Amino acid sequence: MAPPGAPTPSLDGPSDDWDAVARHGTGAYVGFLSQDDPASVAAAYPPATYARLAAVKRVYDPGNLFRRNHNVAPERPVVPTL
Convert the pLDDT of each residue in 12-24 to its tens digit.
Answer: 566 666 677 777 7
pTM (2 d.p.): 0.59
Which pLDDT band, with edges at 50, 70 and 90, does 33 fall under? confident
The identity of residue 59, as a single letter, is V
Q: Taking the chain, what is the end-to-end CA distance rounded to the nearest angstrom? A: 32
Within 3-79, where are the H helices? 18-22, 38-43, 47-60
Nearest Cα neighbor of 70 from 36, 40, 42, 34 is 36
- What separation in angstroms does the CA of 8 have from each of 12, 22, 30? 7, 24, 32
In percent, the amount of the chain with pLDDT more than 70 equals: 70
In percent, the amount of the chain with pLDDT more than 90 equals: 16
What pLDDT is recorded for position 23? 75
